[in-house]
Amino acid sequence: MSNHELLDALVDLPEPERLAAIRTLTEEERKEFRHHWQLWGRTRQLPPSGDWTTWLILAGRGFGKTRAGAEWVRTTAQANPDARIALVGASLGEVRAVMVEGESGILAVCPPGQIPSFEPSLRRLTWGNGAQATLYSAGEPESLRGPQHSHAWCDEIAKWENVNSRATRCWDNLLLGLRLGEHPRVLATTTPRAVPLVRRLLDEPEDQRALVYGKTEDNKDNLSTRFLTGMKRRYGKSLLGRQELDGELIADLPGALWTRAMLEQALEAVPSSPPVRVVIGVDPPASAAGDACGIVVCALGEDGIGRVLADCSVVKASPEKWARAVAKAAEAWSADRVVAEANQGGAMVASVLRAAELNLPLKLVHASNGKSARAEPVAALYEAGRVRHAGQFPALEDELCGLMAGGGYEGPGRSPDRADAMVWALTELLLGRRGVPRVRVG
């Protein structure tokens, strides 16, 4: 019996017998054992049975999604000399740094003597038996128009840029070229977000799609206890924690002013127009031990589009600390105005900001309506395509998706402080005197 056949036989043994058998392996057999993924990969990291075309892994960070993808590619390439595999990530840099050369990437999981040659200039991996894998960026959908493949591994599809439906166009071009071999297959690995492409894959017929969910904690044997404890303490069962750690797909709330799809459409990786004004919205906390201080930087572009540039909010901060955070953001973004809610005491807010050496024009605004009522005109701006996000802001986006039409808040935390700060800033930039809030100049 060959070493490979011996290790294959161990897979079917009950765990006690398997452990006993492993102790009897020779040094040579132990070396091969390290690369025998079927023997020690967790069940949800191994290819599922069935006649699936798409294998979708939705799991928290640290679950082992990259390792599962790299091992599947390795196994596929070594078993099929004719394999032509597409490796698709958010950018070419990420494909190379994570999927190919990363600690759990393809080059790292291959046994000595079976490592493919990597030609970065050609974006190509080639195995000794002739199998090949080519690197692609999801940001360039047209690069997948034409090439043919037998298999594909698509990583972190929920973070693929979807401006002008770029993510879904990339997926469509990939599928249209997935026509080599008898049974073309694609593996998609991602931390879940309710973006159009992920929802589309979840809607595929169950006889064509194999779905696996997973949590960060599933991989606790390979993760630092300090890391796991810290993440649980910090994020717990918050929306962000449920998504990023528990691998839960957070669906839109019925009646919410913002939806995940709306925010996905607003994403703009690189601002296409220079700013003519930069405003910082501030929603001060009632106390240092209470809610966060919302600090959100927004700009008005030459094209008339409002842009959310940064979320600089601070949590459980003293007045001095959050005032310094506002001053720092104003300097970093060359802001020309700070708009701060003064319902907690206008004189106090003004004096705290002045003490932080904030010499910018300061506008104090008083909320005469509830947060949701103030947010409705701003949500309408998103619907009209007049607001963009220069990046992803998970905590802010979770709050926006918790603001309900007609009043009420069902998002994380007690209050949508970040969302309120953003609303004040965009109201100043895009709605002016037509905005809902009453304004008093400080």
DSSP letters spanning 285-304: -SSTTSS-BEEEEEEEETTS
Domains 41-242 and 260-441 share a fold: no
234 versus 298: which is more confidently predicted? 298
251 pLDDT band (50/70/90 cuts)?
A: confident
Rounded-to-integer distance, Cα 299 and Cα 307, Å = 5
Contact 216, 245 (CB under 8 A): yes
Bridge partners (DSSP) listed for residue 152: 86, 186
List alpha helices for 34-161, DSSP H: 37-40, 65-79, 92-94, 106-109
On whether the 260-441 domain is CATH 3.30.420.240, my answer is yes
Rounded-to-integer distance, Cα 189 and Cα 59, Å = 8
pLDDT of residue 321: 87
pLDDT of residue 441: 37
What's the topology of domain 41-242? Rossmann fold (3.40.50)
DSSP helix, strand, coil percent of the chain (3-state; round to 5): 40, 20, 40
344-352's contacts with Cβ under 8 Å and 24+ in sequence apart are: 344/284, 344/285, 344/286, 346/440, 346/442, 348/319, 349/282, 349/284, 349/442, 350/442, 352/284, 352/319, 352/320, 352/322, 352/323
Q: Which of 23-27, 142-146, 238-242 shows the lowest mean pLDDT across its residues?
A: 23-27
User: Is the confidence at residue 365, as pLDDT, over 80?
Assistant: yes
CA distances, 404 to each of 91, 224, 241, 418 (Å): 35, 39, 22, 15
Structure tokens that stand for 283 in this block: 């929603």
| pLDDT tens string 3-61 | 555 555 665 667 677 667 667 767 666 666 666 777 778 889 999 998 999 999 999 99
- pLDDT-above-90 percentage for the chain: 53
Radius of gyration of the chain (CA): 26
Sequence-separated (6 or more) residues with CB below 8 Å from residue 383: 262
Rounded-to-integer distance, Cα 152 and Cα 374, Å = 46
Q: Where are the domains of the chain?
A: 41-242, 260-441
The rounded mean pLDDT for the chain is: 86
Rounded-to-integer distance, Cα 299 and Cα 310, Å = 10
Half-sphere exposure of 308 (CA within 13 A, CB side): 30
DSSP letters spanning 319-356: HHHHHHHHHHHHHHTT-SEEEEE-TT-HHHHHHHHHHT
User: Is the confidence at residue 208, as pLDDT, over 70?
Assistant: yes
